[in-house]
Amino acid sequence: MSYTIEGKTGIWEIVVGLEVHAQIVSNSKLFSGASTRFGGEPNSQVSLVDAAFPGMLPVINKECVAQAVRTGLGLNARINLQSRFDRKNYFYADLPQGYQISQFEYPIVGEGTVEIELQNGETRQIGITRLHMEQDAGKLLHDQDPSRSFVDLNRSGIALMEIVSEPDIRAPEEAGAYLRKLRQILRYLGTCDGNMEEGSMRADVNVSVRKAGEPFRTRCEIKNVNSIRFVMQAIEAEAVRQIEIWENGGEVDQETRLFDAARGETRTMRSKEDAHDYRYFPDPDLLPLVIEQSWVDELKKALPELPDAKRARFQQEYGITSYDAGVLVAEQITADFFETVAKGRDGKLAVTWVTGDLFAALNRTSRTLEDSPVSAASLGKMLDLITDGTINGKIAKDVFETMVETGDEPEDIVEKKGLKQVTDTGVIDTAIDDIMTKHADKVAEYRSGKDKLFGFFVGQVMKETKGKANPALVNEALKAKLDQ
Ligand code: ADP
Ligand code: MG
């Protein structure tokens, strides 16, 4: 199978592997008790360990380890009961230790898989190579002073997971689907908030190209791309650049590059370093990390239902389509909302109101489910009013609009506005008689064969009853009277 960007890559196939850095949700840092809160005053959340004062000792944060294990389980991956922390040595002004504590040879999580779905509905398995824990570095501030730079160490020592994929991705679209799926899983697990704008998830994008059937060629790594859209654009731009080099008889150099989103191109940052340049060695301040299988089992038992499982269950339990179920499970809050509405009710009716009317209303009023004016419980009660015949489908639309405007309960709106469906056949018959008298000419036309006029009569009767008549009863009575 060969994937190409239409018209741009010809016979070339794109090969991509992603290294995703995901900030672990935890109140304190990987090896210190300092807070991880986002947006604090610079250097207000820095312990002596994070500032690398001489003689300070790191102490592993058990919650961070639990989060890494949960993530591994969510990625269907092998959990390594023994792993090890290594020092990755390099100099940078935002790294006071002069090394990053990371995991190299023995990561806590091994091989796993993530299933992605493409636009055409096809699914593909993307292999996970590994997941390891490491510390984040600080941040340099260049915009505070014209002649000096400052360093903010609040981020220094915050726990990250690096999640490395196999080079299984074959197109920008697949990279996008993979990142969205990964983010969704992390959010469900509560192990990373997936917020790319705040930098809690960022990706290093490895790209190479080859002709179908060939072994892999040299790759370039595009560092620190911070949005899914940019990842997709970077892959395309980089693939086109490499293809041009190969096509012109040149050779792609393995290097680290940056994506310039404004220009839509990648640029050299440095030639690629190798592992030995970092002189990795086991951190002598930390014991090997040994965890118990029984603890892993406990964590596994306590995992929430994940998106794939929830989607399958929604389809089965509520009789809705795979597509609708996919839309509903995209965010956990949407799934929970739907489930509250649908429980014990007609699933198809619930999905229409949630993904149709409610989403449209939220869109229109620039709101999200978090601040929805209509609660799941209220929407559920409105569906009950439809199902038990208190209101008809058309009136339900009006009731719903009032709910969006006022936040009132549906039964109160129906009561106050007198919107109860008219099922009194006497009232309906009277309305029909009035209409037939008023439009005697149309009745004659209808009776002489102009069947299409039936809809006109239905409309008139509904108007006469202010939309409240039970449509089925109107149809039945009209037919009887017109066909007399
Ligand atoms: P390093 O340790 O130097 O970063 P890895 O072997 O760990 O190298 O690979 C890093 C990432 O690069 C992985 O996501 C992997 O899937 C990807 N990768 C490896 N070879 C290729 C290739 N030829 N083309 C594209 N991506 C690749
Ligand atoms: Mg790497």
The 10s digit of each residue's pLDDT in 224-253 is 999 999 999 999 999 999 999 999 999 999
Q: Residue 121 region, left (φ>0) first, then alpha (ψ -120 to 50), else beta?
A: left
Q: What are phi and psi of 424, to 5 degrees?
A: -75, 110
Euclidean distance between CA atoms 360 and 366, whole angstroms: 10
| Amino acid found at 38 | F
Boundary (domain end) residue, out of 243, 263, 297: 297
Give distance in angstroms: CA of 159 to centre of ligand 1: 23
% of the chain exceeding 90 in pLDDT: 81
Boundary (domain end) residue, out of 265, 297, 329: 297
Residue 147 in any domain: the answer is yes
**Rounded mean pLDDT of the chain?**
93
Q: What is the mean pLDDT of residues 26-55?
A: 96
18 touches ligand 1 (CB under 6 Å): yes
**Is 80 exceeded by the pLDDT of residue 276?**
no
Give distance in angstroms: CA of 206 to centre of ligand 2: 9
Answer yes or no: are the C-beta atoms of 149 and 142 closer than 8 Å.
yes
Answer yes or no: are the C-beta atoms of 34 and 46 closer than 8 Å.
yes
88 touches ligand 1 (CB under 6 Å): no
pLDDT in tens, 187-233: 999 999 999 988 899 999 999 999 988 999 999 999 999 999 999 99
**Is 80 exceeded by the pLDDT of residue 273?**
no
Boundary (domain end) residue, out of 235, 269, 297: 297
The pLDDT assigned to 468 comes to: 82
Q: Residue 19 region, left (φ>0) first, then alpha (ψ -120 to 50), else beta?
A: beta
20 touches ligand 1 (CB under 6 Å): no
Give distance in angstroms: CA of 104 to centre of ligand 2: 10
Euclidean distance between CA atoms 473 and 478, whole angstroms: 8
Q: What is the mean pLDDT of residues 477-483?
A: 88
Checking DSSP bridges between strand 86-89 and strand 255-260, what pairing results, if any?
unpaired
Which residue puts its alpha carbon closest to atom 14 of ligand 1?
A: 17
Same domain, 260 and 352: no
The pLDDT assigned to 463 comes to: 87
Same domain, 58 and 135: yes
Give distance in angstroms: CA of 134 to centre of ligand 2: 12
Give distance in angstroms: CA of 19 to centre of ligand 2: 7
pLDDT in tens, 170-180: 999 999 999 99
Same domain, 44 and 101: yes
206 touches ligand 1 (CB under 6 Å): yes
Which residue puts its alpha carbon closest to atom 3 of ligand 1?
A: 274
127 touches ligand 1 (CB under 6 Å): no
**Is 50 exceeded by the pLDDT of residue 2?**
no
Residue 332 in any domain: the answer is yes
Residue 1 in any domain: the answer is no
Euclidean distance between CA atoms 269 and 224, whole angstroms: 12
Please tell me whether residue 379 adopts helix, strand or coil conformation. Answer: helix
Answer yes or no: are the C-beta atoms of 469 and 457 closer than 8 Å.
no
% of the chain exceeding 70 in pLDDT: 97
The C-alpha angle 46, 50, 55, rounded to 5 degrees, equals 125
Which residue puts its alpha carbon closest to atom 2 of ligand 1?
A: 275
Residue 227 in any domain: the answer is yes
> Looking at the CA of 273, which ligand is closest?
1
The pLDDT assigned to 475 comes to: 87
pLDDT in tens, 316-363: 999 999 999 999 999 999 999 999 999 999 999 999 999 999 999 999
Closest ligand 1 atom number to CA of residue 218: 23
Same domain, 157 and 281: yes
Same domain, 170 and 66: yes
Same domain, 409 and 471: no
219 touches ligand 1 (CB under 6 Å): yes
Same domain, 258 and 386: no
| Amino acid found at 332 | Q
The pLDDT assigned to 200 comes to: 92
Please state, as a whole number, how many other Cβ atoms lie within 10 Å of the Cβ of residue 31.
24
The residue to mutate among 169, 206, 256, having the most atoms of ligand 1 within 8 angstroms of its beta carbon, is 206
pLDDT in tens, 300-325: 999 999 999 999 999 999 999 999 99
Q: What is the mean pLDDT of residues 265-279?
A: 82
Closest ligand 1 atom number to CA of residue 166: 16
Give distance in angstroms: CA of 17 to centre of ligand 1: 6
Count Cβ atoms within 10 A of the Cβ of residue 245 and give its class: 0-12 exposed, 13-18 middle, 19 or more buried: middle
Same domain, 393 and 469: no
Q: At what angle do helices 172-189 and 307-318 cross, to 10 degrees?
A: 80
Same domain, 69 and 120: yes
Same domain, 131 and 240: yes
15 touches ligand 1 (CB under 6 Å): yes
372 touches ligand 1 (CB under 6 Å): no
Q: How many structural domains are present in the chain?
A: 3
- pLDDT category, 1, cuts 50, 70, 90? very low
Euclidean distance between CA atoms 139 and 142, whole angstroms: 10
**Is 60 exceeded by the pLDDT of residue 6?**
no
Which residues form the domain of 348? 305-417
For residue 448, what is the domain's CATH number? 1.10.10.410
Buried b (16+ CB within 10 A) or exposed e, 103-138: bbebbbbbebebebbeeeeeebebbbbbbbbbbbbb
Residue 127 in any domain: the answer is yes
Residue 3 in any domain: the answer is no
Residue 194 in any domain: the answer is yes
Answer yes or no: are the C-beta atoms of 164 and 130 closer than 8 Å.
yes
The DSSP bridge partners found for residue 207 are: 16, 220
**Is 70 exceeded by the pLDDT of residue 259?**
yes
17 touches ligand 1 (CB under 6 Å): yes
Same domain, 244 and 353: no
The pLDDT assigned to 4 comes to: 55
Give distance in angstroms: CA of 70 to centre of ligand 1: 24
Q: Where do we find the tokens 């899914």?
A: 228
16 touches ligand 1 (CB under 6 Å): yes
Residue 2 in any domain: the answer is no
Closest ligand 1 atom number to CA of residue 206: 26
Same domain, 43 and 153: yes
Residue 367 half-sphere exposure, CB side, CA atoms within 13 Å?
Answer: 14
